[in-house]
Each structure stands twice: as C-alpha cells, then as structure tokens.
Structure 1
Amino acid sequence: MRAALALALIAGAQASAQTAAPAPAPAGGIERGRALVADRTQSLCLLCHALTAQGDPNQGNLAPPLALSAARLTRDGLLERIADMRRFNPATVMPPFRSTDGLRDVAPAWAGRPALTEQQLDDIVAYLGSLATP
C-alpha cells in the first residue's frame, strides 16, 4: 500500500514537472551586454557613442557617452531609448533595435525581424547600468 502511494506521488510529481512553465529568461547579463556594446557588427553602439565622457579615438562622438546616459536615465528609460529612440526624437539616426515599423531599405534577411532580441536588450541595459555605478 505504501509502495503504491509512493509511486503515485512520484508519478504526479513527474507529470507536474513536465507541464510546468519553462524557466524565465535570465536577467540581463553585464558581460553579455559588454560584448554586445563592443560588437560593431551587431549593436553598433560604439560607432556613434563613446563609453565615457573622456572618449576614445576608436569610439564614436556623434551621440552622448553611454556612461552619462546610464547615469541620468532609469533602467526603463535606457531600455525604451535603445528599443526605439524615435519615440523621443523622431529625427534620430539611432536605429530602432526592437521595432520593425516604418523602416526602409531593410535587407531581406532582416525584414520583419528586430535587430536585437529582448534578452540582448536586457543584457545591454545591465551593462550600461554597471557603467553608471562608481
């Protein structure tokens, strides 16, 4: 009788484990974000931005330094601007990394696809947040 009860409990636990929701995506990773910001083929951040106000000859100077932006904006503020800066400045040259609306001259391989995934956006925001802390 006890063996049957134990088997029933084990079977129930296995069934519930199989139907459980998948684990949530990991929170933003600072190291993954650092790699994405530095990647000139994917995020393109350093083509226009420098990391710090001191600048770097191998980084951009067209847009505000990333550390300064991170220091003045909340996590959500950073995320919204990276996702689609057009919401704040319709004339911006910054690409909308989450949105696919209103884009022109998109390569067929990227048509209808955002430039970055939600995880990548979270990773970049985590990294930028680390720049804002002393």
Structure 2
Amino acid sequence: MRALAALLLIAGAHASDVERGRALVADRTTSLCLLCHSLTAAGDANQGNLAPPLDAAARLKPAELRERIADMRRFNPATVMPPFRATDGLRDVAPAWQGRAALTERQLEDIVVYLGTLAK
C-alpha cells in the first residue's frame, strides 16, 4: 500500500481519487464499464466479457487511457464503446442526455487513476 500511495503522490493523485474511480467503474448506472469489461482476465460472472479486461488498460499511459475513454471512436470508428466525454456525432440520444457528456472531467480522471492501480 505504501508503494501505491507513493505512486499516487508522484502522479498528483490522492487515495480519494482512486476510491471515487473504483466506485465509478463498479457503478452500473454511471460508467457502465463492467457491462462490457471484466476487471481482470480471470473474469467474473457478474462482469462483462465483450471487451478487454480493464487491468490490461493499465499498460497504457494515463493520457492514452483518458483519450480512449473520452472517445474511442478516434482509434476505432466502429467501436461500440460509448464516447464518455463527447457529444458530437451521436444518434438515438435520450432527450435528457442531448448535448451532455456521460462523464465529467473529474469522473474521467478518477477512473483513469483507478485503472492505473490495476497494473500488475
């Protein structure tokens, strides 16, 4: 745990960022991450298996991970992953969500910090 705390301080993150990120990833009403992803390659019956496990994402630099979560369409135009920080080019958007990103910048940062702790 000390090593994690040291890494977080170096990165400018705090334990509360990690905990908020962990809660967001687990929340099936906000981020929806676990509908498609599992946390690890071992999987879990209550987690998704349509997309790569999230611990694999920890190999990416934070900026790379942030870009992919914000709008994966930049890397794969045919992706089914929602663009969590984009509002352009979407179709069939519920009226309550039109013009509104699915995650705030703070939520995105918290998720990126948390996913970084999953590295092996």
Normalising by structure 2, what TM-score? 0.86
Task: Work out the CA distance in 1 between the residues paired with 2:21 and 2:105.
Answer: 12
In the alignment, which of 112, 119, 127 is matched to residue 114 of structure 2? 127
Task: Work out the CA distance in 2 between the residues paired with 1:33 and 1:91.
Answer: 27
Contact 1:98 1:117 (C-alpha < 8 Å) held by counterparts: yes
Q: 1:79-101, CA deviations, whole angstroms, 9 ceiling, x for partnerless residues? A: 00000000000000000000000
In the alignment, which of 74, 78, 82 is matched to residue 91 of structure 1? 78
Amino acid at match of 1:111: Q
Residue 54 in structure 1 maps to residue 45 in structure 2: no
Aligned residue number for residue 67 of structure 1? 55
Residue 114 in structure 1 maps to residue 118 in structure 2: no
In the alignment, which of 96, 100, 104 is matched to residue 91 of structure 2? 104
Q: Which runs of 5+ in 1 are unaligned?
A: 1-25
Amino acid at match of 2:34: L
Q: Which runs of 5+ in 2 are unaligned?
A: 1-11
Q: Give the superposition deviation at 1:27.
A: 4.7
Consecutive aligned runs of 4 or more in structure 1 exceeding 4 Å deviation? none
Rg bigger for which structure? 1
Q: 1:61-87, CA deviations, whole angstroms, 9 ceiling, x for partnerless residues? A: 0000000121x2100010000000000
**What percent of counterpart residues are identical?**
78
Residue 44 in structure 1 maps to residue 44 in structure 2: no
Contact 1:27 1:122 (C-alpha < 8 Å) held by counterparts: no
Task: Work out the CA distance in 1 between the residues paired with 2:45 and 2:76.
Answer: 27
